Amino acid sequence: MLKPTGLALMALLTLTACGKPDKPAASGEASSTASQSVTEKGAQPLSCEGPVGKSATAAQLLQTYAGKAREETVPGPEGTTESAIVLYPDDPARKVVVTFWDEAKTQVADVRIGRGAVQWYGPGNIRIGSPLKAVEAANGKGFDLYGFDWDYGGYAADFKGGTLGLMPGDCVLGLRFAPPEGQPGQLTSDIVGDTQVASSNPNMQALQPVIVEMSIGWPSPAAAVQ
């Protein structure tokens, strides 16, 4: 079985902790502005249904995105690598990495975008580059994330029952944050390392880390039957 990427792994490990979301909060002015911005740029949603659904296989993706998809070796968790299908591999603004639970690539594990992939947006109109405050607003409340400067640094750990905790379609949202460019010096000891940090932490609020990776994923089929 292929190992999931770090983002998929952290998202799936926190599925139980996140639980079902509370009643969604009303969208604020910031969310409305974000929605207009991504619409004007022709951005598309990253959701349980697309651009890649749970039932997609590598063969289907290579056929559907003929000429715009290829198999590549991509970084995996903890310094490993894995084989993935990459959509729009030569277009950083649209690039999507799809990993699988099985060697045959018939069971999608993770659909991921990273730095530069500005043509996609997630629930609540969050997207690559969205700051911490925008994600709190989309979630309807604060949440926990892991401290920075280690293998799983910056991953969202627990959405605390907020609206980002369980997406429609039963896929899991994964987010990774990093300090804004040019501000790594603001990492204080209480927001680094293998520990969960509340987004309300004063030093985290002062830093306002931004989303650098976003994914949707599904648990391993093998785990589902255990």
Identify the pLDDT of residue 50: 92
Confidence grade of residue 142 (pLDDT, cut at 50, 70, 90):
very high
Q: What contacts 79, CB < 8 A, 6 or more positions away?
A: 151
Q: What contacts 94, CB < 8 A, 6 or more positions away?
A: 87, 88, 117, 119, 120
List, for residues 124-135, the tens digit of each pLDDT value: 999 999 999 999
Count of beta carbons in the 10 Å neighbourhood of residue 179: 19
Structure-model confidence comparison of residues 62 and 33, the more confident one:
62
Beta bridge partners of 78: none
Cis geometry, peptide bond prior to residue 51 (ω within 30 degrees of 0): yes
Identify the pLDDT of residue 184: 65
Minimum mean pLDDT range among 34-48, 65-79, 119-133: 34-48
Confidence grade of residue 41 (pLDDT, cut at 50, 70, 90):
low
pLDDT at 21 over 70: no
CB-based burial label for 108 (10 Å; 0-12, 13-18, 19+): buried
Identify the pLDDT of residue 224: 58
Identify the pLDDT of residue 15: 47
Identify the pLDDT of residue 167: 86
